Amino acid sequence: MNKVLLYLVAWIGIPLAFGAYVHLAYSWSLARGNLPFLGTHEVRWWIAFGVALLLGTTCVLAAQRLRGAQRAIWAAVYVVAMAAVLLGIHLGVACGHGDCI
């Protein structure tokens, strides 16, 4: 059960939380007439992105009993896949708020 819960957090909870963060940041910033991740505020996005990847990787590794190279490979696979997912979520939310690239 714990293994399933850790995978659910890593693959569903992390993207949902990141999407909620980006959505709220856009909603609050646009209400004040600003974009949320410009200039010095971009650091907040990178921190959220890094924390999301770190927490998800921790969950995936805690759910597995692998050692050595297999453990590192699964961590790398998760980071690459989730980075693409999180960037896609950000792009979708940004475009939804009129900030398409």
Q: Choose among 58, 50, 51: nearest CA to 6.
A: 58
Mean of pLDDT values over 7-22: 95
Residue 61 maps to a domain: yes
Residue 7 maps to a domain: yes
Q: Percent of the chain having pLDDT more than 90?
A: 58
Residue 78 maps to a domain: yes
Residue 101 maps to a domain: no
Taking only the tens place, the pLDDT of each residue in 37-59 is: 887 778 989 999 999 999 999 99
Q: At 68, list the tokens.
A: 């050595």
Residue 80 maps to a domain: yes
Residue 76 maps to a domain: yes
d(C-alpha 84, C-alpha 11), whole Å: 12
Residue 70 maps to a domain: yes
Residue 67 maps to a domain: yes
Taking only the tens place, the pLDDT of each residue in 59-83 is: 999 988 878 888 889 999 999 999 9
Range of the domain at 74: 2-96
Q: How many domains does the chain have?
A: 1
